[in-house]
Structure 1
Amino acid sequence: MFQAVIFDMDGVLIDSEPLWHQAEQHILGGLGIDFNKPPLLQSTGLTTAAVIAHWYQHQPWPGPSTEQVHHAIIDFVASGVAAHGEPKIGLLALLESIAKQQLKIAVATNSPKVLLETTLARLNITDYFQSRCHIELVSKGKPDPEIYLLAASKLGVKPEHCLVFEDSFAGVTAAKAAGMTVVAIPAEHEWQHSKFAIADYKIRCFSEFDWQRLG
């Protein structure tokens, strides 16, 4: 049924969401952003540019440009990943299982190329991925399906033959819009949220994943 498996990166390959939160709090908070002022933002799954644009629109700051802030956040997260990044539970075994089945593997992330390369290198998993798609290759990030369609195209596989692992609602939305089968791995605090009902399957970690359930 499946010819390819596509992974999101942040929160899926690696538990980097806390680093993103720390970066936003440290850098945007340092510019005077009050994250408790409406309109509030659920930033998980969104592009860094979209998060920055939201806060700049509603709480503009003097000084550094949005582009400079963007680079500062990326550098903060990349440094944390390079120093302390660890693979999500069960990931390495799953990647090996997929490779043994001779399925194609891709990563599709809203993060930039430098962070994608840093993460794959830190986890020592670069060679598993025949296609590596990052935000700089598309005109729109998730929840738009463009990056998932690009990943499938680069693998030479039709979207309906792709299985996707995603942790965010934006990512699940993107993959479903691309016509793919989606396994959601929500963060624990979002596990019960009804929005993930649009996913085809839901697991807490890769160790729970069962190929037989896909039959």
Structure 2
Amino acid sequence: MDGVLVDSEGYWKQAEYEVFTSLGVEVTDEQADLTKSMTTLEVTQFWYERFPWGNVALEVVEQLVVSRVIALIESEDCLIDGVKSFIEKLKEKKYKIGLATNSPQRIIPVVLKKLDALHLFDVALSADSEIKGKPDPAIYFSAAEKLGANPEECIVIEDSYSGMLAAKNAGMKVIAFTNGSKTKDFQIADFHIDSFESDRMEF
């Protein structure tokens, strides 16, 4: 979802910086990079272990971050170009479509409403419902089960290494959505696309 449907990576970084620094955490870019593939709760625990704060529960802090990200998604122009029409074409071809994200459940309807795509997804799952988030493959196994599909029948579109690794560990094919990035590691993907607006894309 983050990085495929919406360009929200920067929002997470901004929200985490704002919330954690307000609690006395000394957020550095180096340490923040370590949290990119974590769930929101894992990120909150990461910073609490290094800079324990008092009087505010971890769950409350986590929700402060989530609320700030939601506000940014709702107010900013962050949709990935061409992704809605891409999904609509898949639906026309009778593909089942699922969403499996490390982001909290609260954010899923916000993003799908922003995209006007609630009706296009057969399943939408958050790692909130799993013991471990990506790169653990559990969420992809759950999505396949709810779609009534075998994992080897599924193709996953991912923009992060941890997401691609989760899908590969679930036995699924992976399309890396690079969005023109030259810095991310996409080597484990089976296929690559730079844009959802390419004239060469076939279904």
TM > 0.5 fold call: yes
- How far the C-alpha of 1:74 sits from its partner, in A, is 0.6
In structure 2, C-alpha distance between the alignment counterparts of 1:13 and 1:30, rounded to whole Å: 30
- How far the C-alpha of 1:40 sits from its partner, in A, is 5.5
Q: Relative to structure 2, which stretch is displaced further, 11-20 or 79-88?
A: 79-88
1:144 to 1:209, Cα distance in 2 relative to 1, 3 A: farther
Please state if 1:204 is matched with 2:194.
Answer: yes
The aligned residue for residue 46 of structure 1 is 38
For normalisation by structure 2, the TM-score amounts to: 0.91
In structure 2, C-alpha distance between the alignment counterparts of 1:49 and 1:160, rounded to whole Å: 30
Q: What letter corresponds to residue 201 of structure 1 in structure 2?
A: F
In structure 1, C-alpha distance between the alignment counterparts of 2:201 and 2:138, rounded to whole Å: 27
In structure 1, C-alpha distance between the alignment counterparts of 2:91 and 2:20, rounded to whole Å: 41
Question: 2:171 is matched with which residue: 179, 195, 206?
Answer: 179
- Structure 1: 5+ residue runs without aligned partners? 1-8
In structure 2, C-alpha distance between the alignment counterparts of 1:85 and 1:37, rounded to whole Å: 25
The aligned residue for residue 96 of structure 2 is 104
Question: 1:191 is matched with which residue: 171, 182, 189?
Answer: 182
In structure 1, C-alpha distance between the alignment counterparts of 2:55 and 2:173, rounded to whole Å: 44
Please state if 1:134 is matched with 2:158.
Answer: no
In structure 2, C-alpha distance between the alignment counterparts of 1:197 and 1:209, rounded to whole Å: 23
- Structure 2: 5+ residue runs without aligned partners? none
Identity over aligned residues, as a percent?
35
Q: Is the 8 A contact 2:20 2:27 kept in 1?
A: no
In structure 2, C-alpha distance between the alignment counterparts of 1:54 and 1:123, rounded to whole Å: 31
Q: Deviations over 1:133-177 (max 9, x none)?
A: 112222211111000111111000111111111111111111111
Q: Deviations over 1:41-62 (max 9, x none)?
A: 4333321111111111122222
- How far the C-alpha of 1:192 sits from its partner, in A, is 3.7
In structure 2, C-alpha distance between the alignment counterparts of 1:205 and 1:53, rounded to whole Å: 35
In structure 2, C-alpha distance between the alignment counterparts of 1:127 and 1:116, rounded to whole Å: 13
The aligned residue for residue 58 of structure 2 is 66
In structure 1, C-alpha distance between the alignment counterparts of 2:157 and 2:193, rounded to whole Å: 10
1:96 to 1:160, Cα distance in 2 relative to 1, 3 A: same
Q: Deviations over 1:116-147 (max 9, x none)?
A: 01111121100000011112222211111000
Q: Is the 8 A contact 1:203 1:209 kept in 2?
A: no
- How far the C-alpha of 1:205 sits from its partner, in A, is 2.4
- How far the C-alpha of 1:38 sits from its partner, in A, is 6.6
Q: Is the 8 A contact 1:85 1:119 kept in 2?
A: no
The aligned residue for residue 3 of structure 1 is none
The aligned residue for residue 36 of structure 1 is 28
- Where 1:143 maps in the other structure, the secondary structure is coil
1:166 to 1:32, Cα distance in 2 relative to 1, 3 A: same
The aligned residue for residue 91 of structure 1 is 83
Task: Give the superposed CA RMSD.
Answer: 2.1
